[in-house]
Amino acid sequence: MTTISPASVDFTGSQPETPSGRRLTFVEALVEGMRDEMRRDPSVFLMGQDVGAMGGAMQGSKGLYEEFGPRRVKDTPISESAMVGAAVGAALTGKRPIVEVSFGEFLPTAMNQIVLQAANLHYMTCGAARVPMVLRTRVGDGPYRGHPQSYEAWFAHVPGLKVVMPATAADAKGMMVAAIRDPNPVLFFEHMWLYHGVRGEVPAGDHVTPLDSTFVRRAGRDVTIAATGWMVHKALGAADLLATEGIEVEVVDVACLSPLRTEVVEESVRKTSRLVVAHEAWRTGGFGAEIAATIAERCFYDLDAPVARVAAPDAPLPLAKPLRDAFLPDVRDVAEAVRRVHAG
Amino acid sequence: MATAAPTRINHPAPHAHGRDLLRLMILSRVLEQTCCELNPRWFPAEGEEAAIVGAFYGLRSDDFIAAHYRGPFIAYYLRGADLARLIGQALAKANGYARGRALGFTGPFELGCLPWVAGDLGTSLGVATGVATGYQYEGGDRVVVCSFGDGTSNRGDFHEALNLAAVWKLPIVYVCQNNQYSISLHLSQVLATDTIAARAAGYGMPGVAVDGNDVLAVRAAVEHAVESARAGLGPSLVEAQSYRLSGHWASDPGGYRRDEDVAAWRERDPITRLERQLLEAGEVTRHDLDQLWQDARDEVARAVEVAQAAPSCDAADIGLGEAYAS
């Protein structure tokens, strides 16, 4: 089995044209984005469980409490619904709260606040209300193997929410900055394998990655892989492997799930005529289905083979490592899907 | 830190604002009954006017309110909302504050009211608590008053919101508009304690249960809680114990309860009660009362006329591109 380890990833991200020489991990870049915005804008504050003196789960808010204190870095009880409600309400008063739900596994406890309140308020007040908040959460498999659920597709289904899932350190910072500045509720999904593993060049100072970003991470003429989050890196691993077999893969990082823009994927598919979509979440109703359907609508006559999906199987996610490894899509799965589509 | 047990506030003397409170309760009665006549799916608030008016009276314009869905129009009116636009919401007319996009009982956000953008119960407590979080963050002394039903107090959101507010000492007053019914279920079927206010002790905040048909008692309890919140002393829970005289919705015959129970509570009508008090105190005459009712009917009739003449919601104004702010 071909695997890809986080330590092997060396990936620069979206701003290679202004190399800064600063190489940060994903989580360092993420925290820097929050820190910069908190310095710049006094209306920004962070709340969540253990975000204070502890520095956040997986160092997700390291150093912020020391710099900004308890007024702006607020520890909360284990009350996800109230926490997200607190963010929605504070946003209504013109603040720019960042609320951290420690892990995506806990999002269902805050579902009402997210899909009924945050998503609806702007439209249903004819624009009188705005909800400029960021909900950040950790998802996917990771070094500690806990809380691996990936529910991002649920939220991409709901209009009024923006949903992003950066795959690089530079975008972790740049998209966090953009999310904080955005006048809408933004769900910010942080894949846990990326946290301490992906080191990349991150511009210092003001660095904004537009929320509606989609990136070509590797150019290739034969097959397009459209992937999200950690699967972008597995797709790049598969592309390396397939290059040795003479298959040139183009890897597209769909960093923004909602509102979805597929122009970059469409352009790629018009060139390659073949598409594989890859994500770590379940297959049925997964986000890949939305990409596949959109491409079928817009690029049907450009396709030379059926679109293939690489995703987790439709079963509950097992916890033990051997089961987990067997369950989650890996580089081999991506490569096999590409070979199948390439042959088709 | 907190009063452990709920206390009852006796407030027998006519209040300085008695006549104004009476006017508002009468207006609420006429307004909501009119909405019920115009819309059989409207939620009657008959009998609960004291709990509503007492909760939202006397706030500042820079405060914020989140009103329970039953009878909120008088609360919005107190914020300066236009009656014709509110009635337009009950009629799904385009002159409503949300132009048909939100629920009919939605509040005008631009007047400091929480809109009803979903039909679930409990999330409004979370958002109202968030507004109080925002107010605390900015400093100052703005407060939030959030009302909800006895049924809503069984949602987990009630627990999470009140605990968070107590821990953070947020400037918010929670008012339970207890009408004893969750649609068909009596409170005794869904609550094992005597009062909802008793729960406050579990959160470390003051909790009081008051006669919700006595507007002076509700007003006094909420006023005290608002002053406390404004002074930075944190949240309170006020339970206004009342009774839903009509069905859950206007055309609900309410066959799940006994006529004699309803009749007994009709004897305790909060409007009749205040009228009697003010008459006895010599603060109003029979003629004054007749005039208050006539004024309310005239004011509502004028608003209905405007609302009915307003255009229906127009599909051209559906605003599909307005899901996101830019």
Contact A256, A211 (CB under 8 A): yes
- Is B164 near chain A, with CB under 8 Å? yes
**Which band of pLDDT confidence, cut at 50, 70 and 90, is reported for residue A7?**
very low
For residue range A103-142, what is the model confidence (pLDDT) as tens digits? 999 999 999 999 999 999 999 999 999 999 999 999 999 8
- CB spacing of B120 vs A91 below 8 angstroms: no
| B 220-279 near A (Cβ less than 8 A) | none
- CB spacing of B101 vs A123 below 8 angstroms: yes
Report chain B residues whose CB lies below 8 A from the CB of A45: 137
∠ CA B2-B4-B6, rounded to 5°: 110
Predicted local distance difference test score (pLDDT) of residue A11: 45
d(CA B44, CA A252): 56
Q: In chain B, what is the straight-line distance between the N-terminal and C-terminal CA atoms, in Å?
A: 45
For residue range A239-280, what is the model confidence (pLDDT) as tens digits? 999 999 999 999 999 999 999 999 999 999 999 999 999 999
Predicted local distance difference test score (pLDDT) of residue B9: 47
For residue range A52-88, what is the model confidence (pLDDT) as tens digits? 999 999 999 999 999 999 999 999 999 999 999 999 9
Predicted local distance difference test score (pLDDT) of residue A6: 43
- Is A175 near chain B, with CB under 8 Å? no
Report chain B residues whose CB lies below 8 A from the CB of A187: none
- Is A82 near chain B, with CB under 8 Å? yes
- Is A9 near chain B, with CB under 8 Å? no
Long-range Cβ pairs for the range A259-265 (8 Å, 24+): A259/A162, A259/A212, A259/B324, A260/A156, A260/A290, A260/A291, A260/A294, A261/A212, A261/A214, A262/A214, A262/A291, A262/A294, A262/A295, A262/A298, A263/A214, A264/A214, A264/A215, A264/A216, A265/A214, A265/A224, A265/A226, A265/A291, A265/A294, A265/A295
Report chain A residues whose CB lies below 8 A from the CB of B127: 85, 88-89, 92, 113, 117
- Is B131 near chain A, with CB under 8 Å? yes
> What pTM value is reported for the model?
0.94
How far does the CA of residue A168 sit from the closest CA of chain B (Å)? 26
Predicted local distance difference test score (pLDDT) of residue A197: 84
> For chain A, what is the mean pLDDT?
93
Report chain B residues whose CB lies below 8 A from the CB of A82: 126, 129, 157, 160-161, 163-164
Grouping H, G, I as helix, E, B as strand and the rest as coil, residue A336 is helix
Please check the confidence at residue A9 and state whether its pLDDT lies above 60: no
- Longest CA–CA span in chain A (Å) reads 59
- CB spacing of A86 vs B129 below 8 angstroms: yes
Task: Write down the H helix ranges in B139-269.
Answer: 156-168, 187-190, 200-203, 215-230, 259-266
The rounded percent of chain A whose pLDDT value lies above 90 is 90
The DSSP bridge partners found for residue B178 are B241
The DSSP bridge partners found for residue A186 are A134, A162
Q: Phi, psi (5° rounding) for residue B93?
A: -95, 160
d(CA B95, CA B72): 18
- Is B210 near chain A, with CB under 8 Å? no
- Is A223 near chain B, with CB under 8 Å? no
Instruction: Classify residue A266 as exposed, middle or buried by CB count within 10 Å of its CB (0-12, 13-18, 19+).
Output: middle
Predicted local distance difference test score (pLDDT) of residue A19: 56
Contact A230, A197 (CB under 8 A): no
- Is B94 near chain A, with CB under 8 Å? no
Cβ pairs bridging A and B (under 8 Å): 146
- Is B106 near chain A, with CB under 8 Å? yes
Q: Which of A147, A191, A207, A342 is catalytic?
A: A147
Grouping H, G, I as helix, E, B as strand and the rest as coil, residue B18 is helix
Please check the confidence at residue A331 and state whether its pLDDT lies above 70: yes
Predicted local distance difference test score (pLDDT) of residue B171: 98
Nearest in space to A338 (alpha carbons), one of A218, A214, A229: A218
Predicted local distance difference test score (pLDDT) of residue B15: 60
Q: Which of B126, B135, B319 sits opposite A123 (nearest CB)?
A: B319
- φ/ψ bin of B99: left (φ > 0), alpha (ψ from -120 to 50), beta (otherwise): left
Contact A158, A119 (CB under 8 A): yes
Report chain B residues whose CB lies below 8 A from the CB of A164: none
∠ CA A92-A96-A97, rounded to 5°: 95
Clarify whether A147 is annotated catalytic.
yes
Tokens standing for A92?
A: 């209504």
- How many CA atoms, within 13 angstroms, populate the side-chain half-sphere of residue A289? 12
d(CA A33, CA A36): 5
Predicted local distance difference test score (pLDDT) of residue B14: 57
- Is A116 near chain B, with CB under 8 Å? yes
| B 32-91 near A (Cβ less than 8 A) | 64
Q: Is ipTM over 0.90? A: yes
∠ CA B220-B224-B227, rounded to 5°: 140
Among A44, A101, A122, A126, most B C-beta atoms within 10 A, so best to mutate, is A126
Instruction: Classify residue A69 as exposed, middle or buried by CB count within 10 Å of its CB (0-12, 13-18, 19+).
Output: exposed
Predicted local distance difference test score (pLDDT) of residue A2: 40
Residues of chain B short of pLDDT 70, as ranges, are 1-15
d(CA B105, CA A197): 51
For residue range B76-89, what is the model confidence (pLDDT) as tens digits? 999 999 999 999 99
Please check the confidence at residue A18 and state whether its pLDDT lies above 80: no
For residue range A175-210, what is the model confidence (pLDDT) as tens digits? 999 999 999 999 999 999 999 987 899 999 999 999
∠ CA A122-A126-A130, rounded to 5°: 30
| C-alpha radius of gyration, chain A, whole number | 19
How far does the CA of residue B111 sit from the closest CA of chain A (Å)? 10
- How many CA atoms, within 13 angstroms, populate the side-chain half-sphere of residue A284? 4
d(CA B217, CA B4): 20
How far does the CA of residue A5 sit from the closest CA of chain B (Å)? 38
Q: Residues of B137-147 as b/e, b for ≥16 C-beta within 10 angstroms?
A: beeeebbbbbb
Nearest-Cα residue of chain B relative to residue A44 = B137
- CB spacing of A95 vs B138 below 8 angstroms: yes
